[in-house]
Structure 1
């Protein structure tokens, strides 16, 4: 049958004489043999070759030492081996003929360990080999039938590249990634990771590319390529990873527009799990100093993703198998030389071997030297010229760059000023509008100093270092990035790198950093945005708008005092509204309401973009709510604001003013709008769940019954958020402390007073130190502590706490604030429970009256006050019989 073969014969052309004799013997025995007579380069692999391999029963490899240096041989053997693995034991379908004295060059290890056939030196030995192959063919009932991955290949994997040898390292990567295969009955929750480690320029990226291309059929879900570009700051490394993760989420069709980074990661993992197809992720140029806990965040939480990291030295704390990469061997270097120049005579190959010994087989040295001298072949003394070349990578590259045309050198110096991310061609053309960039790029590609990735250019870090900087070009490049960075997502990495050069004017450095800050804030990455903000503040002569943007990022990250320091001097600047808004928000977060009151803007300018106007209205409404001015807050928001943030704040206000059903309706609508698997943990959805539960709880308290619906998910989210913030910003960060108080308060709500008291005790000292005793967060901590004591019938302790708290609140937020009235109401209850009814009654009556005046007579707190006031007419023993009384201090204790 056409296209069906017994044997696929794989070999190098250097072994053609012996392979011809073996093929004749196989065909004389009646075996159908496929032998490719055309392919030499990897880009020449054709559909004909692929079909022939899939249609063959057995692959016979003539595995000389040169065999693993040839891409075609690697592709044929790997494809056959992976196909044979799916059919059972691959050694029943793949046979190696080893003409060498040992098997140290053979990979994978299964073939090395197998009883491979030795070199057939005569007809009798060839007959033995033929019979062994014939037995394998008879035992094979079907062809190999290699199944090719249908996932599209990345452009960087399709580009022609010079890669020789290192077959053993390729299989070492594959073995590491598949060392812990899970049984079918085990949940697929683990992930596989391999680290490729080696000095700069040894070919780590090329090895990863080769593995991704050669072994792609083992990953039907496709290959993802992410680059950290040696970012030595863990914050920057994570930010780059998160940015690329969003692009992957978009590619998967996930709606992650305003989800924070950790949730984007979870959404991507769920999408991959649902597809149930293994993927390969390569994370290139990972900084060696990256802590192990940060590295864990780069590995997707699913066993359907196998991850390869490349790094220069690596961290010993990384729990992953390491594939060490050294220089090329003499055989591999000879193959590389032949690949570049086309052919070689013995004298040239001897000179190449001497060069390998002198430079340690460094691929960049070998490639640069051979490429530079390629056109001089045939001249007298060519081998001597190779012998006279320097062997240090920096010297070799400087010499090669010095021989380039001026435009080519300028391109490399532009690359040197940028980050190690790929170079955008449109940026270079903007900097060099009069130069023939296309010819210069072709020249650099031919000299192996630049790699054309299609839409971008890649320049190796060692080449950038050797090229050096040109101050004038760096300044022109900075101006070009600022002109092009309307889409900051394309240029923020390069903008940050350019901002580090002192030759760039200070105002431009700040604007370059601003591009990154805006991008990080848009990604929801508060840590990276805070880092960019601090970099902006370290620059002299920064414009007011950039300072205000930095202040906003500091508020996001909880650095409130520093935000006030930055923005307060700007409240009368050209960006006065934004400065006032940021400064006032920060002062409020510090509990400094008296200082914030004159700073808060009166109105929102119509000139602002719609999204910014909505955000400003919400911020101003929150400020009015915190001051007890609920009707003013509602008027500011309006009742038809489409922005979900404004609607959610309106729902909170409706709860306070007693319109519980309307609050519940608003919250339900927001929950429905985000009711998709991708938005399961969307911050707005989770906040809406909390508001909905609060409205339900308020309605149920009126009826003296409480249900647990929705509270489990809310509590789990609150605790997860606290852990994330503590990990990112530190346990004493204002944001982490606020999240900790919220978590502890849920323990009171859920009727777990003992647990709550333990949590409050741990939080009291740091909250007091960071915020002070007059801050609302400390008020809530003390109030909730009193609630927990009340749940445990420890009313004396509750009285002591509430009495001090009431005095504090009267002095800080005023006697008419609802929070003050709530404290006064509960103090009255606690006093009554301790037998001090005469002292309790005036407190409850006054609280009842003031709550009605402030919130309206339908508010939940007013209802609660009315019931409490009515209870004051009963004797104390009746209160203890009243089944619902404990509800005023929270749920009935469960522990």
Structure 2
């Protein structure tokens, strides 16, 4: 079967084209030729096979220029890309233009869905041009290929051979047109094997339309039907369709036939109750002589991929990737333990095995991705790391819509498990965290139901926490508000997951600067958790800890210290003295005692806590290191600036050794060393160290993270202390603009920046 228009050709059943675009030899034709004997060679110019017509809204593209460069002087261009990007149309445009311009003596167009079709096309050309014997197609094909070679003393023949929609590079073994100074060759394929390159063949990737190309395509297509839409609406529609030429072409036909404008059609596209097949024209209404509807454009490629080694893994891998972000999935997500277990189970089911099958290994998962890449169903670029796997959104949609309901839900939960598994507890790589959040958002959009049944999937909580930890505090508050409202509706007010969303909502409200509001929210939550879970449940105790903390942040340091002291008694009773939560609470008591003014008591309490953490956890445990940092801080606040600097310097060395240079706690230690250099009188060195720290904060966390903004504040302060009051004022003015935008006018950092600006302006 052959697809024209902006689509690509696909093989028909049995591999023979049935579109009428080429003059195929059938039994009656062969019999007639045998009776009549070899025919006289056709006069030039001569065409074998029918070139597909140019699409109504064909768009010249940069790939066309690369094609021309590749074939000039006898080369071969191999156009490759996913189904629907318009490879056939580019080849057809080149064939039409060179033929009509009189630059060809012979043009041969073959729908090359399988080896038999290629041999048949060559044999047809051999019969028409070389007096070949039609009763022996293989010999006739060889005769034609030999005829294409330039011969001394013979009139040069300017020829072009197009092999459209090659489904397997092996089909062309021994059948590639020869290199010739007078001839040119073109092939289109969805495959990307290395075997397609070499011997003068150049691979040309045909990508999606640019936005400008897509808008021009839609504008031209609609204008042919006396329809006109603003460019902005056309750009939005093109984005929704992923700038895929075939999708744009078929969508235009649908909205014209249904008499819809772009906005109405876009609403249909996003209607989850409708499938892709229901918002695209049926086979009887396809434009530009196309033969295959968009929703079925990739099915043959998926079947072929699933038969390649590792057999039976390509389809389940594509299905798993279809649940995630089309713009990029980290390779580790699709090759982690949860993904591998799922692939193993799916391959076992497909094979009909009742017993255990060999486990799919990480290298098998990578090979499955390579197979999908070879057939242009995904883009697998391991070098990009965080976005190693990309799948066009329409390929994803067609894949999801082809899933049985129970498998759809299973896949959604598996994808969520794989994301949580790949999510680092400490987000050192902000770019990776952003990609993981994008994948969680995509999964939530594709499958909201399965992530909430029977309980809420951990990926929902991990994504929201990551959003806040990245410094997007307003976005985190909005996320948790939405999640809490949904949990309240679907699970009820007393479900543990609903209470957990309330906890996070209150926490990020406090982090956004509303400590009093957060304290009130935690107080209400505490009543509910005590009633539902009991007063000694870990969640109830954690709520008490957060309530105490937010009260302290709201200005009641003494109240916070007293509340943590009460909590410590209960944790000692419920958990024992060496439980991690008990040790954390001891640190909270010490810290808030110091904040309430009892600095000496804080120093003594942290010194005692350090001894116990060394005994229970060891010297290199993160909590032990944190306690050393807190002890150094309060020693400095007690007046021992030199002792604080010495302790922080030693702590920095250990954190560099244990955690590495980019860990958040290492950066915090650098912050404290810089600060205490300033406090001990070396303001110039403090400013220099904060400047170096800022570079790393920007690289690791980005410009809007609260810690980056805090480092800018310290850098401005110590530049001023070093004598550059004017520079400090400018820096605080710039900082105030940014914290107002990022954190809002009431956030403590904004208040601090405003006060610092006033100080240095005076």
Q: TM-score range by the shorter chain?
A: 0.3 to 0.5
Structure-2-length-normalised TM-score: 0.43
- Highest relative contact order (Cα 8 Å, sep 6+), 1 or 2? 2
Structure-1-length-normalised TM-score: 0.38
